[in-house]
Structure 1
Amino acid sequence: MNTQQLKQEIIDYSKEIGIDKIGFASADVFEGLKERLKRQQALGYQSGFEKGSVEERTEPDRLLPEAKSIISIALAYPSRIKNGPKSTKEERRGVFCRASWGVDYHKVLRDKLEKLSAFIVDKIPEASTKVMVDTGELSDRAVAERAGIGFSGKNTAIITPEFGSYVYLGELITNIPFVPDTPLEDGCGSCTKCLDACPTGALVQGGQLNAQRCLAFLTQTKDFLPDEFRPKIGNFIYGFDTCQVVCPYNKHVDFHNHPEFEPEPDVAKPKLKPMLRISNREFKATFGHIAGSWRGKKPLQRNALIALGHYKDKTAVDEIIAVMNNDPRPVIRGTAAWSLGKIGTDDGFVAIKEAMDKETDEQVLAEMEKGLAFKETSTT
């Protein structure tokens, strides 16, 4: 079988198994990306979540020695929740970013890619493949860009003509030398909407991200959230996607092609107060199937406390006091104290002062001081 015929059969099969877009790229070294990654490292712009060395992330033959081609796939995900629940004064809600709605995309894409791999090996028994989704060494976006799936936007997302940037990406390296597809031309032009909307200046310039200032990354960290970012995250408890929402290519884009990605309203927009007392077992049962659960409940609970503070939710004061007094984790106790101060009730301030007499952790005590400082601010 010639590779052009096999390529068409793979494309046809990809449609059968629900892949929204597929592209083929060479397995050459990603030289431009290599230089960008080295610059990112030198500037301290990386998140720390990246897997592998710069070489492993840019040289496909380090991952599959006989690599000749890379097949890139994209699956569209929804941007709107049908009949989404509303936040009320009695029951404030947080929100997961759109990329964490529905079943964890890693599992869904991996399943599709493994089916593609089996299809290829069935046709060409001597074929070798390696499947990767997001957590692999290769840059999904660099592969997708080379394979013509979309162009790399100024917000660093891959933007497809059909689905905007609301797509999950994955790839399959193979030793079959497919004719590569043509990359798309850049489509951002002079538009700077994503740069203008980024609340922390994480988008340093078009296509360059300082992950250390990116709210999507910061919501996933487990330590205290630095003060300057607390006013910025609003009610996001995982991820942040304003740079996608403002993109003109995403206007009116809302695809519901995959039942697995349909958002469960009460999971995608959970009530905040129950998040404070959720057990590990309840957390796993409620959120364990979504991508936003991968860091565990601690960052989400910290972010929920910050969100309740932003809402100035007086109905949550008693529960937040209980967290401040009883939670064994310093980050959660300290953030609870900050949140109480932000809400600003007399009961909350009294509780912070009483808790300070028993607290021994220096960082928590510093957060309690910040909480009490809100009282001084409100009376001046």
Structure 2
Amino acid sequence: MDAAQLKQEIIEYSKTIGIDKIGFTTASTFDELRNRLIRQQELNYQSGFEEKDIEKRVNPSLLMDTPRSIIAVALAYPSKMNERVTSKKGERRGIFCRASWGEDYHLILRDRLKKLEAFILEKVPDARCKSMVDTGELSDRAVAERAGIGWSGKNCSIITPEFGSYVYLGEMITSIPFEPDQPIEDQCGSCNKCIEACPTGALVQGGQINAQKCIGFLTQTKDFIEEPLRAKIGNRIYGCDSCQTSCPENKGKNFHFHEEMEPDPEIVKPLLKPILQLSNREFKEKFGQLAGSWRGKKPIQRNAIIALAHFKDETAVGELIEVMTKDTRPVMRGTAAWALGKIGGETAKLALEKALEKETDEEVLTEISHGLKEVNLV
């Protein structure tokens, strides 16, 4: 087997199956990443969604016997909708982040990696391959950085010269000793626009993020969001793009290479009020194909309530009272009470006063009390 020739054949084949960029690196340990992950753990900056065993995140040999290289892939996704819908009074809309437009990217990347693996095994039948996307043990970003896909930006995203940071990442550990590609030199320089644009200050410094404060993380949680952070969420119902849209490297970057990534504006920028009453089946039918649906309907519905408060949508008072008084989930009742306080009005005030007499959950009672204080200030 000629590894150099095979590498070139893989690069050429990757273009035919919709991989926009491909890079190769060694399977050696990610020692610098280990130190960063340990520090993140010490500071409690992790989201909790990551692989908990740091050694598995940095040592490919724990994931495959005698790995020799890692192939990194990137697929560019759109940053703008070809068709747009607008939010207007009485018909307010939420927004999913760009990484959740179109079909779930985990499925898209797994499809590409599966095809790439089949191609490799056809050429080298005794080769061993292990692919992963996002939820795998390795850090997609660390692999992509070392494989020359792009540099790791201050916004904690991989920034490619061609597509900016609007790329999905995946990787494949292999038993084949491919020649590694050269990493790309950091090009962020003195620019701090992403850090300045972060609504919650989650970007502590260039390349370091406190996931516990990141809106992208907060919108995926299922409990109450801390009150000071709610106002920062705006109308985001899943994820956040502020650190990407503020990046000069992303200016003018908008690629529509993959049909399955095209957003349906009615789904990725949905009307907020109808979300509140969705059944599980209706939620899956409408949002199930999105990456942003993975945590179920509860976070999306809670975030929709926060968004209605952001807009001070008086037309939603009736629906919010319904949630506050009839929803079986304390997080929904309490967040609705808070939202009613933010929107204000006599109807909201009377409903909050009645709810205060009947509610038994302590956290919800606290939210109702805060709502009543707010409603008197509106």
CA contact (8 A) 2:197 2:246 kept: yes
**1:281-300 alignment, distance < 5 Å:** 281-300=281-300
Matched, 1:100 2:97: no
The answer to which of 30-39 and 369-378 deviates more is 369-378
Matched, 1:177 2:177: yes
Partner of 1:28: 28
TM-score (norm 2): 0.99
Structure 2 runs not aligned, ≥5 long: none
Q: Distance in 2 between matches of 1:61 and 1:290?
A: 33
AA in 2 matched with 1:182: Q
Partner of 2:265: 265
Deviation at 1:345, TM superposition (A): 1.4
Deviation per residue, 1:81-114 (Å, 9 max, x gap): 1221000102100000000000000000001001
Deviation per residue, 1:187-224 (Å, 9 max, x gap): 10000000111111111110000101111101110000
Deviation at 1:66, TM superposition (A): 1.6
CA contact (8 A) 2:75 2:169 kept: yes
SS at match of 1:66: coil
Deviation per residue, 1:347-372 (Å, 9 max, x gap): 01100110111110000000001110
Deviation per residue, 1:129-155 (Å, 9 max, x gap): 001000000000000000000000000
Partner of 2:301: 301
Percent identity over the alignment? Answer: 64
Q: Distance in 2 between matches of 1:376 and 1:323?
A: 21
**1:1-380 alignment, distance < 5 Å:** 1-378=1-378
Deviation per residue, 1:255-278 (Å, 9 max, x gap): 000001000110110000000001
Q: Distance in 1 between matches of 2:346 and 2:15?
A: 61
SS at match of 1:24: strand
Deviation per residue, 1:266-304 (Å, 9 max, x gap): 011000000000110000000000000000010111110
Q: Distance in 1 between matches of 2:65 and 2:52?
A: 16
Deviation at 1:175, TM superposition (A): 0.5
Q: Distance in 2 between matches of 1:151 and 1:61?
A: 24
CA contact (8 A) 2:70 2:173 kept: yes
Q: Distance in 2 between matches of 1:83 and 1:22?
A: 30
Q: Distance in 2 between matches of 1:14 and 1:350?
A: 62
Task: Detail structure 1 runs of 4+ shifted over 4 Å in the superposition.
Answer: none
AA in 2 matched with 1:70: I
Q: Distance in 1 between matches of 2:360 and 2:287?
A: 33
Q: Distance in 2 between matches of 1:190 and 1:75?
A: 28
TM-score (norm 1): 0.99
SS at match of 2:338: helix
Query: How many residues are aligned here?
Result: 378
Q: Distance in 1 between matches of 2:242 and 2:89?
A: 24
AA in 1 matched with 2:180: P
Q: Distance in 1 between matches of 2:212 and 2:166?
A: 23
Q: Distance in 2 between matches of 1:222 and 1:349?
A: 27
Q: Distance in 2 between matches of 1:90 and 1:202?
A: 32
Q: Distance in 1 between matches of 2:66 and 2:274?
A: 51
SS at match of 1:232: helix
AA in 1 matched with 2:339: S
Q: Distance in 1 between matches of 2:20 and 2:361?
A: 51
Structure 1 runs not aligned, ≥5 long: none
CA contact (8 A) 2:340 2:375 kept: no
Q: Distance in 1 between matches of 2:134 and 2:65?
A: 20
CA contact (8 A) 2:343 2:375 kept: no
Q: Distance in 1 between matches of 2:96 and 2:375?
A: 31
| RMSD after superposition | 0.6
Q: Distance in 1 between matches of 2:116 and 2:307?
A: 42
